[in-house]
Amino acid sequence: MTDTRKPKAFTGRHMTAILVGFFAVVIAVNFTMARFAMSTFGGKVVENSYVASQHYNEWLKRADAQDRLGWDARITLDAKRHVLLAISKDGVPLGGIRASATINHPVGRTPPAALNFEPAAGGVLRSVEPLVLGRWRLDLIVRHGADEARYRENLQ
């Protein structure tokens, strides 16, 4: 016995349904991705880019002065997620340093928070508070006498 039914013809309604379905999926994906993008990163690096540009040469001079100090900064996390800071010059630990730091989430999910340090063994400074699990950006200012250095480190 053979099947004598004729296949249904492809009509304009079929094509319309395919096109509407395709574009509905594309639009839904675009809106979803745009929503995720807007909710995770505000896109702001500095408050006012024009004002920041006015300080650019000053920042370059400060960076050159920091390079001339010859300090080597080693920033790590211990097992309990305390930030450890060791500053050395020519391989010798630099004593009597003071540090202040701010931590924040790299894409601005949390407001910046101050991080306090206390002296630890071997001339190392150790943060008083441990970091919560996750990615963090550490903005650090280290002072030794009249000298100052700034560091930015990503920690996980």
- Sequence-ordered list of residues with C-beta below 8 angstroms from that of 127, at least 6 positions apart, any chain: 82, 83, 84, 101, 115, 116, 117, 118
Say what the pTM is: 0.61
Q: Tell me: the pLDDT tens digits for 60-70?
A: 998 898 888 88
Sign of the Cα torsion 67, 45, 106, 102 reads positive
Note the pLDDT of residue 79: 86
Note the pLDDT of residue 31: 96
Q: Tell me: the pLDDT tens digits for 120-133?
A: 887 788 888 888 88
